[in-house]
Structure 1
């Protein structure tokens, strides 16, 4: 199939795919604990139905020990043809009113800019839409063997790694196509070549045996919250670079994201400068970053005139490609244990050490993906990184050694605002990515 025919086929099915995407956005499939399970089960059932209609007639909701089921299926190709596994996920992030949505996150909304707004429109129901468009454009009969896994708990405590390890035969293939990424800009193709890993811990700082009156004892007696604040501030230097000794860092040499694009996508307030030094791409993809994502202390409403005896925070550090997560976590813990002010007692609980992932870019599948993007977009693809992490990829690589990976999708970095308010997707990205997937499958089948 040539690019013109692929484009014509995808254009013909796109209106129906976008209608389905609007329906799926309306289902609040939040798999986080504490949210109602009924919408997630409804999303799983509808996802299964749509994929069965698209050609995965044997698809099913897999039994898992806990949580929500992945959708698994296979369309056999000609004997000896390559095996490609398509990945996406049907669960989404929460969308609380405090995020500041300007439209209802559970109503797919078209705006004058042509984008489709709603929670999951990009991450990752948009990825699911690309798979639907691909299969419908191929009339449900791809030219090679295509397997499918659509996860139901990617945004929270994933159960898919356990399922993969228990059923490795379902995931052995020549190429994984992970449709949960995106381009830097609409209309400019990218392949994600690296993902940062992440390490995390909870640090508790204690200074007193019990709360004290802040007027009677304040001054000489150190407040634990202030000690924690000083400790947290020591994790960054004055420029905003990570100040933890011994962590991995290097300069990015692939495609670049400009500071203006970053500022527009990040929503920095007027006058707020970006943190750190070096290029934006290096700071995002090849250097560590550290955040305090949660703090336990008395609320303002419940506060009184006392010094706090203890305070704690959850620290999350992203680590660049090539880093050993255990060593990076060791460095973080060592810093926390040795930088507390005034002799404050520090206890650190290690909670996570997930490795980064580097995509081999010298295989025939990756080369075919480059050609498919060139044909779909009319321009060459750049290599980008991702500040996020997908631990599942390491598990997939372990059960299918030698398999290649292609990481792409509909989530353009500058405007999609995944996980944030007013998440959106540009329908043209769904269309072009579906064309690229059709061409990729055709080329792989042709050898």
Structure 2
């Protein structure tokens, strides 16, 4: 089947590429000519493990193309996927849908035969109905249907999540839309992947509810970690003890500096704003947002406390800047709150990240960036681990201690909780390590 994907950001590029891997003919469209040119030269705008080779293979096979020309890209397309950004709107936290409706307006002018318009972007409940109402003003009803097909991609594991998903959610209101999406995802039927067909509104809520629930687990375990520190318990053992309960599960129960990235922060805020519009206050989700914002500030205070209550004039080595490993995404990363707070308290920051430095340089001021982790530690008063990249999990602690002026190790991901850093001359501070 021939399909068009509007938007070559994280969701659009990964989805379009994986659809082409299924055997469909895909054209990914973006207004940014420089991005399209780079993609034609197999230069990825994002870091996602394995994406460059998957793109190259499908471009070579003739199944995947990139273009700035939406009109040509839409010729003979049976489905159009809207995969543009829906950032938080200033002032109220609601999802900004201007890019979604701009894409809809332009696409409508090129629809000639029946086309399924699918929202892949994360949009508030009721958006599909608004899109259908707008298209009804521009096109005869027999020329289109509108569907919701939310994504559930983890950055760093997006290809695996698309090719072998836990489930696929499709919100439709017609048999035609049902049949098109069923054909698009037919390869997954062969693997017995659950395909959940529902109405558009339900699909839209599923996406937000899933992200909000996962964010809730993160904020929950972070608050439990604070209790563990105060009461002499160990949050890692608590996480294991409750995670072994199949009703709870072990995922997203890792205490840390709070969630970040392109999804959880904006989606939880948008869900709260949308619910308020419907007169349904979501007290739990609102608390999750508040806990997460407070968490980032508290982590800077934890570092300062570990340094004796004062970091003025001290050099701090920071390992990890992105919000999670295996991505270059700096959006709403805890580092963007923690590092400036330490700088305001008088600290000098030397930092390393395997993939995020280029983006971090745009967002963090007066930070000395290094090409490898050990050089950040030279004459450092403290070492802070912010992101759990694999290459940080087996540092030579003897070497690190010799490089540093003082042996303060603040591990905000608990990756050395069981490694006895004190044996190497470090004073160790973890998360929820009261025992």
TM-score, with length taken from structure 2: 0.19
Q: Where is the helix percentage greater, Structure 1 or Structure 2?
A: 2
Which has the larger strand fraction? 1
* TM-score computed with the length of structure 1 as normaliser: 0.19
